[in-house]
Structure 1
Amino acid sequence: MSNISALSRHLPVPGTKSNKTDIFIAGIGAVGGTLIRQISNLSDADSFNIIGACNSTRTLWIDDEEFKINKKALANSEAKNWDRIIKKLEPADGRELVFVDATGDHEVAGFYLKLFEKGIHVVTPSKIANTRKQVYFDLLQKTADEHDVKFLYETNVGAGLPVLRTVRDLVKSGDEITEVSGVLSGTMTYIFSQLDAGLPFSEAVLKARQLGYAEPDPRDDLSGEDVARKMMILSRVSGYTVERGDLNVEPITPKELANVDSATFLERLPEFDSEWKVKLEELKKAGKTLRYLGKMKKDDITVGLQELDIDSPVARLQGTNNIIQIHTRRYSHQPLIIQGPGAGKEVTSAGVLADIRQIMRNGR
């Protein structure tokens, strides 16, 4: 794990805004750990004051500017207790306090309202809170507004790409989102580009897992639920009311492996390689291929496989690239297109950092 010197917590002159922003990071694995490293490498790193961090079992509070976040320090820190953490988190006079949730934990997502009520901003790549019931999504936005704090989650869709910000700005300008479509899973882009290159399905999935693009249990990606969650959030940010049951989602997880344990799933996945090979070879003869797409309209959201011309822009996507097309009332004849890497700890952490920066700019 990368180390970072914590920054000293000098009190500002009364009545003035501090140049420092306090940050507590929950979850210091792939995204959280990378965020710490990225902050430490900034030219203005002394503007960021990491006051604490926690992993799944321990909490480390940082009171000394020479103290470093590392495995040894965490091992010797106090046991994690969310009641104590939330009680201790209080915005310092003149400084913003940002809680970064990089855990993907349902319990942590349930604390956002308490944090807002204490005047604490929340930045998160986790889609958990925003894909609960619509009434809860609305309550999060309303509570954050009432307590004059920011709830930023740009990395919920497209990692570091400015997708949600673009949609939000269009709506605020009086435009109407009529359709959003495209490839919203860097994991799926990687898997299907590997299939096009001749790699067996099981190997493509395992390779995506090894590189950190797919979840430890790849069914979290193959089920289509990741894309479904992104489409729900896009729809809600566009101003529409949507529940999970409103979506039509096509999984690509083999039905026979849907309910087995993770180890069995990985062991038996090669059984389905020939099925995918035949399917793709037949499409290739017709000049076509497959990609996993999401499409949102006002009254319809679909997620699943789609046949595409092999030389189409979407079919030519490589790596972990996403491509999102946004149709609006103003952009009705030609959509706005956002394209770029949509997965990976580096770009996701950079997106989280951009959200923190936005809070810092607004608070000064």
Structure 2
Amino acid sequence: MKILKFGGTSVANSQNILLVENIVKKESLQGRTVVVVSALHGVTDHLIKAAEYASQKNENYLQLIKNIEEKHLILVKELIPVLDQSSWLSFVKKHFNDLEDLYNSIFVLGEFTLRIKDKIASYGEFLSSNIIAARFQTQGLDCLWMNSAELIRTDSSFTNAKVYFDSTENNLKKYFNENQNQIIICPGFIARDEKNNMTTLGRGGSDYTASIIAAALQAEELQIWTDVSGMMTADPRLASHAKPIAEISYHEAMELSHFGAKVLYPPSIQPVMIKNIDLKIKNTFDPDARGTLVSHHLAASENDEKPIAVGISNMSAIALLTLEGSGMVGIPGISAKLFQCLSHEKINIILITQGSSEHSITIAINEKDIFYAENAINSSFADDINLKRVTPVKIESGLSIIALVGENMKSRSGVSAKMFGCLGNNGINIRAIAQGSSERNISIVISETDAKKTVNILHEEFFESEIKQIHLYICGTGNVGSKLIQQIYNQNQYLREHFLINLRIAGLSNSRHMIFSDHGINQEEYSEWKEQGEEASAQKFAEEIISRNLRNSVFVDVTASSKIPEVYESLLKRSITIVACNKIAASSDFETYKTLKNTARNHRCNFYFETNVGAGLPVIGTISDLIKSGDKITSIQAVLSGTLNFVFNNYDGSRTFSEVVAQAQKEGYTEPDPRLDLSGTDVARKILILAREAGYPLQFEEIENTGFLPEECMQGSVEDFYKKLTEYEDHFKNLFNESRKAGKILKYTAEFKNGKANVGLQHVAPESDLFHLYGKDNIVIFKTLRYSEQPLVVKGAGAGAEVTASGVFADIMRSI
């Protein structure tokens, strides 16, 4: 014998009921079948809503009843053949007349008790099951309607009655011995107490009815038919990559359902779990889908191929209540007193955690119970509060519980470390932690605003290890930014296939517009975004990133703006990694620089700026490796401006200095205002950054900058600048000739030694390592305690949009 339960969505209308009919026909061919049905979708809620209206003297209850009645009359007309309709239409009308009398009494008395609530709520299942049984009978099926309310006996705890299992089992066995029909159809959710009053079985009551019947009859299998294809690894509304769980143990199912998985409710599992009856969760609208098997056979295994966890569940609208005080230490009965006062108020405790010092106890409850819980606890501990032994209960609301569940967690080491590590790396603040003694779940309490992010982080870590999603927010889409974006689009398929990483551009901004997409901005959208984006600012861009709160977020600054670094700290505090081509932050006041570095470290994220010096060259990374390995940098000598190196390598007196600078700007080697490069300010910032990364607390003002441009060249517009360069051509030619006569060449160099730094134009001899440096190349020469005689040299292309973009790309990959 099999027990099949169909939920409200499965019997929402005649079309769905025909699907149910086909499923039942197929199952009944294999043996006797019991079909337990819920009320039509939404009917129970509307029945109760109408009663609430009536108790409030709101006559809208009459229209609501009429709507519910009409829904059932339509169902009869669509399911029952015309010749058989009359009696069933009368059946529906008679019961709605009875219902209307009940509502009228509520309206007159203004009273809506729990006992009346159960009586009214019972009509939904009673009517749906009768109509479906009538439909099956008219189709020639050997079908009988069974009034499960007459057989399932409970106490008088209305709306959540407790079942008397012994008498219920005897009633059911007797009924099924006396009635041998192939198909038995009955209502779920409803029962009767010892005084024959109607009672209901609470949340998930129809599932519970099916489980009670299955256990009493020692059924072969219980099937729960719903609108999803089984239990999922996470709530698909939060985790888009959630997938059905093929097999799960009863204990795992209990843990998931306790912490919010709504496909099953904990009481529904208990009767069949005790009797070792397999339970299947199936999809009415996709009956061929495998669904989920919940079985007593599935236990923990030390087999490494078995998954560590089976699912993640979540509960929202949670509050934490903390009772603490020195008077609790070593005093027996405190916990019992706390739980007793909450039990008296019928408040369900979802999670408990207590410090080993016994100084405090923290519990999680539903937010709707805060008022009653606070009053109950403070009243119960009034004497202790007055004597300062404990403090009044502390309350935090707006929280969620996330539970990671799996039998195999107890046989694997490092599960907690993996869980908390990935959450910490994404800036999730955990308010409370609990782990059951069975070690089947680890539960955490977090801010409700972090719930979606947390579920996705854990789902990716434990169920989607094949692909890691990285959300990029790119600020700056000019020369370097556009090259970077194109490189990401071009390389992403390769990264997915070979490194299991998917780079998703979730936000773009320039100085005028910004656009966001949690699912990623594709190439087509990128080509049109400037016309569609909203008005941009650094602050608005950062605020939007923080509010979206996506996992594995990386902020990429490929601007030269002084405004963008102002938002770095707020992003780092939310554990959002920053990759910066922009040199402003790392070369700002030393305290600001240290604050950003410390903030990144404290919030378990990264602040990378390799392209601040040498574009794509591994200069800062090399310093980091030297320092980490215990070496000490004693001096740095470098050519750090690809722009200036290009200019002086190409200026030979055959063309004017102005023409060479214009060529450098045209080929993308200078800033829009070339004076930023030619003034030496950029080089000064770079040697400052290298000195700081080497461990020296240098300020920008301490760097000696010997300029070579006449003062007049630094005034006015860019156009004025080029005119002045032409006017001062003799000055530049004299510099060149003086160097050539000495057998040397001009290089704009930077040097750090003995704690001091300087930058300026130098005459470089052929024997110098700086001499053979061509085009836009950079060179950095490190002397260290280990590299004291033969220096460590880093040399290569130090300018250009492509190489700078590739350096930023490398930092992005380093941050993952």
* Identity level (%): 36
Offset at 1:201?
1.2
Alignment partner, residue 484 of structure 2? 35
Aligned match for 1:279, one of 735, 740, 759: 735
Please state whether the residue corresponding to 2:600 is helix, strand or coil. helix
| Matches for 1:109-148 after TM superposition, within 5 Å | 109-148=565-604
Output one character per residue of 1:203-222: Cα deviation in whole Å (capped at 9) or x when no partner: 11111111111122211111
Q: Which amino acid aligns with 1:231?
A: I
Please state whether the residue corresponding to 2:715 is helix, strand or coil. coil
Alignment partner, residue 631 of structure 2? 175
Q: Which amino acid aligns with 2:474?
A: I
Output one character per residue of 1:2-35: Cα deviation in whole Å (capped at 9) or x when no partner: xxxxxxx955584443611110101111111111
Q: Distance in 2 between matches of 1:327 and 1:192?
A: 26
Work out whether 1:44 is the aligned partner of 2:499: no
Instruction: Rate the CA distance shift 1:16–1:94 in 2: closer, same or farther, 3 A.
Output: farther
Alignment partner, residue 475 of structure 2? 26
Q: Which amino acid aligns with 2:588?
A: R
CA contact (8 A) 1:16 1:94 kept: no
Alignment partner, residue 509 of structure 2? 54
CA contact (8 A) 1:322 1:341 kept: yes
| Matches for 1:212-227 after TM superposition, within 5 Å | 212-227=668-683
Output one character per residue of 1:145-202: Cα deviation in whole Å (capped at 9) or x when no partner: 1100000000000000000010111111111110011101100110000114743211
Offset at 1:281?
2.1
Q: How many residues are paired up?
A: 352
| Matches for 1:135-284 after TM superposition, within 5 Å | 135-196=591-652, 198-284=654-740
Q: Which amino acid aligns with 1:49?
A: R
Q: Distance in 1 between matches of 2:762 and 2:539?
A: 47
Instruction: Rate the CA distance shift 1:359–1:283 in 2: closer, same or farther, 3 A.
Output: closer
Q: Distance in 1 between matches of 2:594 and 2:580?
A: 17
Output one character per residue of 1:261-301: Cα deviation in whole Å (capped at 9) or x when no partner: 22211122111222222332233232112111000113210
Q: Distance in 1 between matches of 2:764 and 2:457?
A: 61
Q: Which has the higher contact order (CA 8 A, sep 6+)?
A: 1
Offset at 1:95?
3.5
Offset at 1:70?
3.6
Aligned match for 2:807, one of 336, 345, 351: 351
Offset at 1:316?
2.5
CA contact (8 A) 1:124 1:155 kept: yes
CA contact (8 A) 2:505 2:521 kept: no
Output one character per residue of 1:39-62: Cα deviation in whole Å (capped at 9) or x when no partner: 111122671011110111111112
Q: Distance in 2 between matches of 1:84 and 1:260?
A: 33
Q: Distance in 1 between matches of 2:729 and 2:572?
A: 48
**Ranges in structure 2 where 5+ consecutive residues have no aligned partner:** 1-238, 242-455, 462-466
Q: Distance in 1 between matches of 2:521 and 2:699?
A: 48
Output one character per residue of 1:217-236: Cα deviation in whole Å (capped at 9) or x when no partner: 21111110000000110000
Alignment partner, residue 143 of structure 2? none
Instruction: Rate the CA distance shift 1:57–1:332 in 2: closer, same or farther, 3 A.
Output: same
Please state whether the residue corresponding to 1:129 is helix, strand or coil. coil
CA contact (8 A) 1:195 1:201 kept: yes
137-146 or 73-82, larger mean C-alpha shift: 73-82
Work out whether 1:292 is the aligned partner of 2:743: no
CA contact (8 A) 2:506 2:519 kept: no
Alignment partner, residue 34 of structure 2? none
175-184 or 246-255, larger mean C-alpha shift: 246-255
CA RMSD of aligned residues (A): 2.1
Instruction: Rate the CA distance shift 1:306–1:81 in 2: closer, same or farther, 3 A.
Output: closer
Q: Which amino acid aligns with 2:507?
A: G
Please state whether the residue corresponding to 1:130 is helix, strand or coil. coil
Aligned match for 2:532, one of 67, 76, 85: 76
Output one character per residue of 1:58-94: Cα deviation in whole Å (capped at 9) or x when no partner: 1111255674344532212211144443233249888
64-73 or 164-173, larger mean C-alpha shift: 64-73
Please state whether the residue corresponding to 1:20 is helix, strand or coil. strand
Work out whether 1:104 is the aligned partner of 2:555: no
Offset at 1:38?
0.3
Q: Which amino acid aligns with 2:516?
A: W
Q: Distance in 2 between matches of 1:282 and 1:356?
A: 45
CA contact (8 A) 1:159 1:341 kept: yes
Q: Which amino acid aligns with 1:32?
A: G
Q: Distance in 2 between matches of 1:13 and 1:99?
A: 18
Q: TM-score w.r.t. structure 1 length?
A: 0.91
Q: Distance in 1 between matches of 2:591 and 2:707?
A: 27
Output one character per residue of 1:99-129: Cα deviation in whole Å (capped at 9) or x when no partner: 0011221111010110011110000111101
**Ranges in structure 1 where 5+ consecutive residues have no aligned partner:** 1-8
Q: TM-score w.r.t. structure 2 length?
A: 0.42
Please state whether the residue corresponding to 2:514 is helix, strand or coil. strand
Alignment partner, residue 314 of structure 1? 770
CA contact (8 A) 2:611 2:804 kept: yes
CA contact (8 A) 2:562 2:584 kept: yes
Instruction: Rate the CA distance shift 1:182–1:66 in 2: closer, same or farther, 3 A.
Output: closer
Please state whether the residue corresponding to 1:168 is helix, strand or coil. helix
Please state whether the residue corresponding to 1:307 is helix, strand or coil. strand
Q: Which amino acid aligns with 1:52?
A: G
286-295 or 60-69, larger mean C-alpha shift: 60-69
Aligned match for 2:542, one of 72, 77, 86: 86
Instruction: Rate the CA distance shift 1:195–1:155 in 2: closer, same or farther, 3 A.
Output: same
Please state whether the residue corresponding to 2:651 is helix, strand or coil. helix
158-167 or 305-314, larger mean C-alpha shift: 305-314
Larger radius of gyration: 2
Alignment partner, residue 3 of structure 1? none
